């Protein structure tokens, strides 16, 4: 079940405003060019910001997301993308050059669903196809910064962030949105923080080899960006 921040129609409409500039997306466009990807699958595409950029560059793009409200926002942005309501385990047959997962997508999988997702990604790629995604480095303890986040008001809506629990490898938090009409919507989320070794081992178990592990330009020193290749 997607978190309300993605699945509630009122929150989906304001998500891009609160998400702000996506400085990480240029990295993925660069990887797409580097591996000469003509077809891309964006997993957890949300409101479609990366998928739209990829389609604008002339690539064939599929965006998949389990949150229908977010997907409707994405569909309104770009008709050239094939938008699919679902996840990496429910995809129709395809054979793309590159699969991506941006933002916190790789960390929303808390248990066995992580390797089920990796197997789904593996099945969607052509032989030798690539998979690029990012994940926060647990040793950087990002949640300590989150605990100091101040409320903000954008597009007339007040957002408050609260750190709920840190029980490694899980970190839980809540977004609360107050609307001008007095209504309030809360969205609880949990992320799993995996070490570089843990991520690498899971990729190998699911038929990938790790080609490179890079820094994230928008959070230097705080994230790993994995580039893996389908090998079996």
User: DSSP for 174-221?
Assistant: EEEEE-TTS-EEEEEEEEE---HHHHHHHHHHTTEEEEEEE--TTSTT
CATH code given to domain 140-191 = 2.20.25
Q: Domain 4-137+194-230, what fold?
A: Rossmann fold (3.40.50)
Residues of the chain with CATH 2.20.25: 140-191
Q: Determine phi and psi for 208, rounding to 5 degrees.
A: -115, 160
- pLDDT, position 232: 80
Distance of alpha carbon 73 from alpha carbon 158, whole angstroms: 21
Residues of the chain with CATH 3.40.50.150: 4-137+194-230
- pLDDT, position 218: 84
- pLDDT, position 1: 77
**What parts of the chain have a pLDDT lower than 50?**
none
Structure tokens at 28: 């993925």
Pairing of strands 82-85, 184-192: unpaired
pTM attached to this predicted model: 0.95
Judge whether 49 and 82 are in contact, CB under 8 Å: no
């Amino acid at each position: 079940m997607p978190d309300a921040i993605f699945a509630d129609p009122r929150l989906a409409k304001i998500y891009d405003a609160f998400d702000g500039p996506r400085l990480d997306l240029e990295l993925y466009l660069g990887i797409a060019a580097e591996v000469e990807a003509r077809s891309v699958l964006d997993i957890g595409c949300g409101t479609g910001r990366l998928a739209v950029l990829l389609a604008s560059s002339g690539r064939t793009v599929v965006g998949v997301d389990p949150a229908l409200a977010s997907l409707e926002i994405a569909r309104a942005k770009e008709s050239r993308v094939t938008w699919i309501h679902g996840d990496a385990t429910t995809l129709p047959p395809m054979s793309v050059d590159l699969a991506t997962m941006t933002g916190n997508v790789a960390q929303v999988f808390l248990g066995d669903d992580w390797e089920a997702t990796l197997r789904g990604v593996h099945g969607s790629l052509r032989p030798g196809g690539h998979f690029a995604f990012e994940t926060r480095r647990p040793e950087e303890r990002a949640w300590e910064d989150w605990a100091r986040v101040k409320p903000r008001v954008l597009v007339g809506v007040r957002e408050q962030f609260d750190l709920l629990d840190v029980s490694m490898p899980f970190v839980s938090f809540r977004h609360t949105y107050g609307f001008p009409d007095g209504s309030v919507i809360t969205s609880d989320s949990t992320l799993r923080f995996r070490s570089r070794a843990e991520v690498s081992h899971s990729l190998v178990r699911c038929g990938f080899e790790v080609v490179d592990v890079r820094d994230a330009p928008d959070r230097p020193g705080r994230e790993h960006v994995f580039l893996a290749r389908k090998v079996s």
